[in-house]
Amino acid sequence: MNLLSLICLLSFTLSVVSPLVAQGKIHVLIDPGHGGQDKGATILHNSTQLIKESDLTLSLSQKILNLIQSQYSHVIDAEVTRTGNQYVSLPERVKRAQSSQLDLYISLHYNTAPSNNLSGTEIYFPQENKIQESLPVLEAIKQDVIETGRIKKSLQFSQLLSPEWKLTQLKIRRAPFYILDKSPVPSILIEVGYLSNPQEQKKLLKHQNQDLVAESIVKALLNFKENRDNQLN
Protein backbone atom coordinates (compact mmCIF):
# COMPACT_ATOMS: atom_id res chain seq x y z
CA MET A 1 0.00 0.00 0.00
CA ASN A 2 1.50 3.39 -0.95
CA LEU A 3 1.62 6.40 1.39
CA LEU A 4 -1.31 8.21 -0.25
CA SER A 5 -3.49 5.12 0.05
CA LEU A 6 -2.52 4.77 3.69
CA ILE A 7 -3.40 8.41 4.45
CA CYS A 8 -6.75 8.01 2.66
CA LEU A 9 -7.46 4.85 4.62
CA LEU A 10 -6.53 6.40 7.98
CA SER A 11 -8.70 9.47 7.45
CA PHE A 12 -11.54 7.26 6.26
CA THR A 13 -11.17 4.94 9.28
CA LEU A 14 -11.17 7.89 11.68
CA SER A 15 -14.28 9.31 10.06
CA VAL A 16 -16.08 5.99 10.51
CA VAL A 17 -14.89 5.18 14.02
CA SER A 18 -15.28 8.63 15.57
CA PRO A 19 -17.25 10.91 13.26
CA LEU A 20 -16.75 14.56 14.14
CA VAL A 21 -20.36 15.50 13.62
CA ALA A 22 -22.68 17.51 15.82
CA GLN A 23 -24.79 15.57 18.29
CA GLY A 24 -28.32 15.23 17.06
CA LYS A 25 -31.31 12.98 17.08
CA ILE A 26 -30.87 9.33 16.35
CA HIS A 27 -32.75 8.06 13.30
CA VAL A 28 -34.51 4.76 13.60
CA LEU A 29 -36.50 2.69 11.15
CA ILE A 30 -39.07 0.41 12.80
CA ASP A 31 -40.09 -2.48 10.57
CA PRO A 32 -43.20 -4.47 11.52
CA GLY A 33 -42.60 -7.89 9.94
CA HIS A 34 -45.00 -9.36 7.33
CA GLY A 35 -48.24 -7.63 6.21
CA GLY A 36 -50.92 -7.95 3.51
CA GLN A 37 -51.06 -11.45 2.04
CA ASP A 38 -48.03 -12.36 4.15
CA LYS A 39 -49.66 -12.89 7.53
CA GLY A 40 -46.58 -14.42 9.16
CA ALA A 41 -47.41 -16.89 11.92
CA THR A 42 -51.11 -17.47 12.59
CA ILE A 43 -52.54 -19.02 15.69
CA LEU A 44 -56.00 -19.71 17.07
CA HIS A 45 -56.51 -17.96 20.39
CA ASN A 46 -59.16 -19.37 22.80
CA SER A 47 -60.19 -21.75 19.95
CA THR A 48 -62.03 -18.91 18.18
CA GLN A 49 -59.89 -15.87 17.50
CA LEU A 50 -57.34 -15.99 14.65
CA ILE A 51 -54.20 -14.13 15.70
CA LYS A 52 -51.91 -12.95 12.89
CA GLU A 53 -48.26 -12.11 13.48
CA SER A 54 -48.56 -9.29 10.90
CA ASP A 55 -51.21 -7.56 13.10
CA LEU A 56 -49.15 -7.94 16.28
CA THR A 57 -45.98 -6.51 14.73
CA LEU A 58 -47.99 -3.59 13.30
CA SER A 59 -49.60 -2.86 16.66
CA LEU A 60 -46.22 -2.99 18.44
CA SER A 61 -44.59 -0.71 15.86
CA GLN A 62 -47.40 1.83 16.37
CA LYS A 63 -46.90 1.72 20.14
CA ILE A 64 -43.17 2.35 19.73
CA LEU A 65 -43.82 5.16 17.25
CA ASN A 66 -46.49 6.78 19.46
CA LEU A 67 -44.24 6.65 22.52
CA ILE A 68 -41.36 8.24 20.61
CA GLN A 69 -43.52 10.91 18.99
CA SER A 70 -45.33 11.82 22.23
CA GLN A 71 -42.29 11.95 24.55
CA TYR A 72 -38.98 11.64 22.77
CA SER A 73 -39.32 13.33 19.39
CA HIS A 74 -36.63 15.83 20.44
CA VAL A 75 -34.04 13.01 20.62
CA ILE A 76 -35.34 10.20 18.39
CA ASP A 77 -36.53 10.47 14.83
CA ALA A 78 -38.54 7.34 13.99
CA GLU A 79 -40.06 6.02 10.77
CA VAL A 80 -41.95 2.82 10.04
CA THR A 81 -41.94 0.63 6.93
CA ARG A 82 -45.74 0.23 6.98
CA THR A 83 -48.62 1.88 8.81
CA GLY A 84 -51.37 -0.49 7.71
CA ASN A 85 -51.96 -4.07 6.66
CA GLN A 86 -50.08 -3.85 3.37
CA TYR A 87 -47.50 -6.19 1.84
CA VAL A 88 -43.93 -4.89 1.81
CA SER A 89 -41.31 -7.14 0.21
CA LEU A 90 -37.97 -7.78 1.92
CA PRO A 91 -36.00 -5.89 -0.80
CA GLU A 92 -38.35 -2.90 -0.35
CA ARG A 93 -37.70 -2.94 3.40
CA VAL A 94 -33.95 -3.00 2.82
CA LYS A 95 -34.34 -0.17 0.28
CA ARG A 96 -35.98 1.94 3.00
CA ALA A 97 -32.97 1.27 5.22
CA GLN A 98 -30.67 2.35 2.37
CA SER A 99 -32.53 5.53 1.52
CA SER A 100 -32.26 7.38 4.82
CA GLN A 101 -29.46 8.33 7.22
CA LEU A 102 -30.29 5.67 9.77
CA ASP A 103 -28.59 4.87 13.05
CA LEU A 104 -30.59 1.70 13.53
CA TYR A 105 -33.04 -0.59 11.78
CA ILE A 106 -35.33 -2.70 14.01
CA SER A 107 -37.35 -5.54 12.54
CA LEU A 108 -40.21 -6.87 14.69
CA HIS A 109 -41.47 -10.46 14.65
CA TYR A 110 -43.26 -13.01 16.82
CA ASN A 111 -42.11 -16.62 16.94
CA THR A 112 -43.78 -20.02 16.65
CA ALA A 113 -42.38 -23.54 16.97
CA PRO A 114 -43.72 -27.07 16.49
CA SER A 115 -43.16 -27.67 20.21
CA ASN A 116 -45.32 -25.54 22.50
CA ASN A 117 -42.64 -25.64 25.22
CA LEU A 118 -40.31 -23.12 23.63
CA SER A 119 -40.49 -19.64 25.12
CA GLY A 120 -38.59 -16.38 25.44
CA THR A 121 -37.40 -13.48 23.35
CA GLU A 122 -34.69 -13.79 20.73
CA ILE A 123 -32.72 -10.86 19.37
CA TYR A 124 -30.72 -11.43 16.21
CA PHE A 125 -27.87 -9.31 14.91
CA PRO A 126 -25.89 -9.71 11.64
CA GLN A 127 -23.58 -12.62 10.90
CA GLU A 128 -19.82 -12.44 10.47
CA ASN A 129 -18.38 -9.83 8.19
CA LYS A 130 -18.57 -10.92 4.56
CA ILE A 131 -16.35 -8.99 2.19
CA GLN A 132 -16.28 -9.75 -1.54
CA GLU A 133 -12.94 -11.29 -2.46
CA SER A 134 -12.99 -9.61 -5.88
CA LEU A 135 -12.71 -6.08 -4.40
CA PRO A 136 -9.43 -4.14 -4.72
CA VAL A 137 -7.46 -4.27 -1.44
CA LEU A 138 -8.14 -0.66 -0.36
CA GLU A 139 -11.84 -0.95 -1.12
CA ALA A 140 -11.98 -4.29 0.74
CA ILE A 141 -10.39 -2.69 3.82
CA LYS A 142 -12.88 0.21 3.69
CA GLN A 143 -15.78 -2.20 3.40
CA ASP A 144 -14.38 -4.25 6.26
CA VAL A 145 -14.20 -1.18 8.54
CA ILE A 146 -17.79 -0.20 7.67
CA GLU A 147 -19.16 -3.72 8.09
CA THR A 148 -17.30 -4.32 11.37
CA GLY A 149 -18.72 -1.05 12.75
CA ARG A 150 -22.22 -1.98 11.60
CA ILE A 151 -22.10 -5.38 13.31
CA LYS A 152 -20.59 -3.90 16.49
CA LYS A 153 -23.37 -1.31 16.78
CA SER A 154 -26.04 -3.93 16.10
CA LEU A 155 -24.65 -6.02 18.96
CA GLN A 156 -24.33 -2.93 21.16
CA PHE A 157 -28.05 -2.15 20.78
CA SER A 158 -28.92 -5.81 21.55
CA GLN A 159 -26.84 -5.61 24.73
CA LEU A 160 -28.48 -2.32 25.74
CA LEU A 161 -31.92 -3.81 25.23
CA SER A 162 -31.16 -6.84 27.40
CA PRO A 163 -31.28 -5.12 30.85
CA GLU A 164 -34.39 -3.13 29.86
CA TRP A 165 -36.33 -6.23 28.76
CA LYS A 166 -38.87 -7.15 31.45
CA LEU A 167 -41.22 -9.44 29.52
CA THR A 168 -39.43 -12.78 29.20
CA GLN A 169 -35.99 -14.32 29.19
CA LEU A 170 -33.94 -12.81 26.38
CA LYS A 171 -31.28 -14.42 24.21
CA ILE A 172 -28.96 -12.60 21.82
CA ARG A 173 -28.03 -14.54 18.67
CA ARG A 174 -26.65 -14.17 15.17
CA ALA A 175 -28.52 -15.32 12.08
CA PRO A 176 -28.25 -14.96 8.29
CA PHE A 177 -31.64 -13.24 7.93
CA TYR A 178 -32.02 -11.43 4.61
CA ILE A 179 -32.64 -8.00 6.09
CA LEU A 180 -29.77 -8.26 8.60
CA ASP A 181 -27.45 -9.33 5.80
CA LYS A 182 -28.53 -6.75 3.22
CA SER A 183 -29.20 -3.73 5.40
CA PRO A 184 -26.35 -1.19 5.16
CA VAL A 185 -26.96 0.13 8.70
CA PRO A 186 -26.81 -1.40 12.22
CA SER A 187 -29.75 -3.78 12.33
CA ILE A 188 -31.49 -6.16 14.68
CA LEU A 189 -34.44 -8.49 14.39
CA ILE A 190 -36.52 -9.11 17.52
CA GLU A 191 -38.61 -12.27 17.88
CA VAL A 192 -40.68 -10.89 20.77
CA GLY A 193 -41.91 -14.26 22.04
CA TYR A 194 -43.48 -17.61 21.15
CA LEU A 195 -47.15 -17.48 20.12
CA SER A 196 -47.08 -21.30 20.05
CA ASN A 197 -46.49 -21.45 23.81
CA PRO A 198 -49.94 -21.09 25.48
CA GLN A 199 -48.68 -19.24 28.60
CA GLU A 200 -46.45 -16.95 26.60
CA GLN A 201 -49.21 -16.33 24.05
CA LYS A 202 -51.47 -14.96 26.82
CA LYS A 203 -48.66 -12.71 27.98
CA LEU A 204 -47.88 -11.45 24.46
CA LEU A 205 -51.50 -10.57 23.70
CA LYS A 206 -51.99 -8.39 26.79
CA HIS A 207 -51.97 -4.71 25.88
CA GLN A 208 -50.02 -3.70 28.98
CA ASN A 209 -47.27 -6.18 28.03
CA GLN A 210 -47.13 -4.78 24.52
CA ASP A 211 -46.70 -1.34 26.13
CA LEU A 212 -43.93 -2.80 28.29
CA VAL A 213 -42.13 -4.11 25.19
CA ALA A 214 -42.44 -0.73 23.45
CA GLU A 215 -41.07 1.01 26.57
CA SER A 216 -38.11 -1.40 26.76
CA ILE A 217 -37.19 -0.75 23.13
CA VAL A 218 -37.48 3.03 23.52
CA LYS A 219 -35.37 3.00 26.73
CA ALA A 220 -32.68 1.03 24.89
CA LEU A 221 -32.84 3.57 22.06
CA LEU A 222 -32.28 6.41 24.54
CA ASN A 223 -29.25 4.55 25.97
CA PHE A 224 -28.02 3.87 22.43
CA LYS A 225 -28.15 7.61 21.73
CA GLU A 226 -26.38 8.40 25.00
CA ASN A 227 -23.59 5.96 24.08
CA ARG A 228 -23.24 7.53 20.65
CA ASP A 229 -23.13 11.04 22.13
CA ASN A 230 -20.51 10.00 24.71
CA GLN A 231 -18.35 8.57 21.92
CA LEU A 232 -18.59 11.85 20.03
CA ASN A 233 -17.50 13.93 23.05
Which residues sit at the interface with Zn ion, rule CB under 5 A?
33, 40, 109
Closer residue to Zn ion, CB minimum distance, 32 or 126:
32
Least distance (Å) from Zn ion to the CB of residue 112? 9
- For residue 208, the minimal CB distance to Zn ion (Å) is 23
Closer CB to Zn ion, 109 or 153, in the complex: 109
Question: Is 33 or 126 the residue whose CB approaches Zn ion more closely?
Answer: 33
Say if CB 207 and CB 190 are below 8 A apart.
no
Q: What is the DSSP string of 1-22?
A: --HHHHHHHHHHHHHHHS----
Question: Least CB distance from residue 109 to Zn ion, whole Å?
Answer: 3
Give the residue among 85, 142, 92, 106 at the shortest CA–CA distance from 27. 106
CB of 103 to Zn ion, least distance (A): 23
Taking CB atoms, the residue at the shortest distance from Zn ion is 109
Q: What is the DSSP string of 115-134?
A: STT--SEEEEE--S----TT
Q: What gap in Å lies between CA 53 and CA 42, rounded to an integer? A: 6
Nearer to Zn ion, 32 or 186 (CB): 32
